[in-house]
Chain A
Amino acid sequence: SAVISQKPSRDICQRGTSLTIQCQVDSQVTMMFWYRQQPGQSLTLIATANQGSEATYESGFVIDKFPISRPNLTFSTLTVSNMSPEDSSIYLCSVVLTGSSYEQYFGPGTRLTVT
């Protein structure tokens, strides 16, 4: 398994501002993902964070709104830019361990509220 930490655990932000969420993994991983989840709802994949190259975004998500960095194999950041109340959600970092059968491990999440 992997130990994944996220910072911050929660935040309340004003509309129009930006928040950067950090994800740290205790081992080197090839695949790292960012998801969004409304409380009690399913997960929506935002993007795959690729080490050394641009992230791969899912339909409906764009780099200008959700810029992602992946400077090394243990760390990634997701920025939620120009926030609106619709961005209020839980943001989850997830990894697949190298050599595993693709089960995913998730961070504890960042609960974002935009006012």
Chain B
Amino acid sequence: AQSVAQPEDQVNVAEGNPLTVKCTYSVSGNPYLFWYVQYPNRGLQFLLKYITGDNLVKGSYGFEAEFNKSQTSFHLKKPSALVSDSALYFCAVRGNSGGYQKVTFGTGTKLQVIP
């Protein structure tokens, strides 16, 4: 069975500082990995994905994530946090063994950027 762990319920960071939101995963075979963001009272938005290739993937709003196969991690990063980045972030994983594979979402990490 596949799983996703987001070990931090909340991450607090000062505006202008770099931010990291952690994600580790477990899946059979090679993973497809995703980050989604949910702003208050809004639906989820796709941020970025890792399918194959370069381990560092860039996404919307200046976010990037690094795929680390040996550590089974896919941490979300941004060099300089904005107050507007404050939101709920979800990591998700699915297998890529062919056909439709169900996506498993993490429990979410609330990012609070402090002015």
| Chain A residues with a Cβ under 8 A of chain B | 1, 4, 31, 40-43, 45, 48, 92, 94, 101-109
Q: Which of A101, A102, A108 is close to B42, meaning CB atoms less than 8 Å apart?
A: A108
The answer to whether A103 and B105 touch across the interface, beta carbons within 8 angstroms, is no
Q: Which of B43, B100, B108 is close to A31, meaning CB atoms less than 8 Å apart?
A: B100
Which A residues lie within 8 Å of B102 (CB)? 45
Which B residues lie within 8 Å of A108 (CB)? 42-43
The answer to whether A103 and B90 touch across the interface, beta carbons within 8 angstroms, is no
B69-97: which have CB < 8 Å to A? 88, 90, 92, 94
The answer to whether B103 and A102 touch across the interface, beta carbons within 8 angstroms, is yes
Nearest B residue (CB) for A43: B105
The answer to whether B43 and A107 touch across the interface, beta carbons within 8 angstroms, is yes
Bound CA–CA A108/B38 (angstroms): 10
Bound CA–CA A41/B103 (angstroms): 16
B98 vs chain A, min Cβ distance (A):
12
Bound CA–CA A4/B94 (angstroms): 23
B31-53: which have CB < 8 Å to A? 32, 34, 36, 42-46, 49, 51
Q: 8 tightest A-B contacts by CB? A: A106-B44, A106-B43, A108-B43, A42-B107, A103-B46, A43-B105, A101-B51, A109-B43
Which A residues lie within 8 Å of B108 (CB)? 40-42
B14 vs chain A, min Cβ distance (A):
23
Max chain A Cβ within 10 angstroms of own Cβ: one of B44, B88, B92, B101: B44
Q: Which of B42, B51, B110 is close to A40, meaning CB atoms less than 8 Å apart?
A: B110
Bound CA–CA A105/B47 (angstroms): 10
Q: Which of A92, A104, A109 is close to B103, meaning CB atoms less than 8 Å apart?
A: A104
Sample of 23 A–B contacts (CB below 8 Å)? A1-B46, A4-B43, A40-B108, A41-B108, A42-B106, A42-B108, A43-B90, A43-B105, A45-B102, A45-B103, A92-B43, A94-B44, A101-B32, A101-B51, A102-B32, A103-B49, A104-B34, A105-B46, A106-B36, A106-B43, A107-B43, A108-B42, A109-B42
